[in-house]
Structures are given as structure tokens and as C-alpha cells.
Amino acid sequence: MSHVVAISGGLSDPSSTRMLADRLVESIGRQSGDVTVETVSLRELAHDITDAMLTGFAPPRLQAVIDHVVAADALVVVVPIFKASYPGLFKSFIDVLDADALTGKPVLLAASGGTARHSLAIDHTLRPLFAYLQALVVPTGVFASSYDWGTEGSGALGARVDRAAGELVSLLKGAGTGRGRDEEFDLFSETFLKASDPDA
């Protein structure tokens, strides 16, 4: 049984970002009977995230969410596009994670926006961020604008949701990347060897 955590970076309630996350979660469940999914809304953690930015450690509720995110077999990340990029709150959440928290983790990226003019924001902003984090991002990004929620666009959105979810499910069935966090100190790093032996 795999466990997927969906992170919704929407700030309003109800939010179209959350609706998109729910669609993706539903599709993942439909395509794999072997997956449990939980959804996290960053809006509820806004104060905790700010505190963690200022102190360097997370309050208990945020830490619990971080622990779930780090332990998840895969992530679904859904953000609204503000001013050509993801919201600052979402970036702050990423910033309070350890540098290697998402190493090797399969991730599905999705975004919502007012118009289709924002649709490449997934590839221009989210993908580089997750490349830096060394996550394994599925090929299909899912962008949904107002058009996609209407009658004309909804069929195409459903197809993209299923394709992206299918890619994530397929990754979960395999062995993943085989990479993850390294909790051990590297006793054989250059600086470590110098600390252990002045003549080295």
C-alpha cells in the first residue's frame, strides 16, 4: 500500500486549487486500489509556516505535516498561480523543509489560474524548483483555468488529470528512484577526515 500526500497551496476557501487537488486524488484512487491519500491545505498552516521561517523550527502541527510529506511515497502539489508564479506561502513551506526532504520523491505538479495565459507557469516555475529539490516529477503537468471548469473545457481537463495521475500511479508501482533522505553523517567526507586526523 502506497501513501500519497496532496498539498494544496490555495489561499481561499473554497478554492479551485483544492478542487483540482481533489480531482487528482480521486483519479489516483480510481486508477490504483493500492493507494491511500491525504490532502493538506497550506492556508491552515500559514501562521505556523511564518513562525518556522523566523525561528528555524516548526511548531508541532506544521512538523506533523512535514513528517507526513517527507514520509509519503509520492506527492501531488497543486498551487494557484499568482503574479506569474506560485504563492509566497507555498515557497515558504518548501523553504522550511530540509534541503534533502524531497530527494527522489515522485511528484505530480498542478496549478490553477484565472486564464490559460498562466499555463506554462508549471514548467517555468514549479518544475525548476522541484528539479533543484531532486524530486522525480511526472511528465504531465495539469493546469486548470476558469475555462477548464466550464462545459467546453472540462472534458480536456479530465483527460489531463487522468493522464498525470496515471503517470504517478505507474511510478508508484515500480521501485521509484531508489533515492531518499540520508540521515547519517558522512564520516568519509573530506572535512570529516581532516577533523579526525590532522596529518591526513
Partner 1 sequence: MTSMQFGLFTVGDVTPDPTNGTTPTEHERIKNTITIAKKAEEIGLDVFATGEHHNPPFVPSSPTTTLAYIAAQTEKLILSTSTTLITTNDPVKIAEDYATLQHLSDGRMDLMLGRGNTAPVYPWFGYDGAKAVELTVEHYHLLRRLWDEDVVTWEGKFRTPLQGFTATPRPLDGVAPFVWHANIRTPEVAELAAYYGDGFFANNIFWPKEHYIRLINFYRQRYAHYGHGTEEQAIVGLGGQFYIRKNSQDAVREFRPYFDNAPVYGHGPSLESFSTQTPLTVGSPQHFVEKTLAFADYFGDYQRQLFLVDHAGLPLKLVLEQLDELGEVLPTLRAEFDARRPATVPDAPTHAARVAAKVAAASTPAEPVGVDA
Binding site for partner 1 (CB under 8 A): 50-51, 53-57, 59-60, 185, 189, 191-192, 194-198
CB of 65 to partner 1, least distance (A): 16
Which is closer to partner 1, CB of 156 or CB of 195? 195
Answer positive or negative: Cα dihedral of 140, 77, 53, 57.
Answer: negative
CB of 63 to partner 1, least distance (A): 9
Which is closer to partner 1, CB of 54 or CB of 175? 54
Which is closer to partner 1, CB of 50 or CB of 154? 50
CB of 187 to partner 1, least distance (A): 8
Which residue, among 100, 9, 98, has the nearest Cα to 56 in the 3D structure? 98
Which residue, among 124, 127, 122, 92, has the nearest Cα to 110 in the 3D structure? 122
Cα–Cα distances (Å) from 129 to 181, 183, 191, in that order, read 18, 23, 29
CB of 193 to partner 1, least distance (A): 9
Query: What are the residue ranges of helices labelled H in the chain?
Result: 16-31, 46-55, 60-71, 88-95, 121, 127-132, 146-149, 154-173, 190-196
Which is closer to partner 1, CB of 139 or CB of 188? 188
Specify whether the CB–CB gap between 145 and 106 falls below 8 A: no
Which is closer to partner 1, CB of 47 or CB of 117? 47
CB of 54 to partner 1, least distance (A): 3
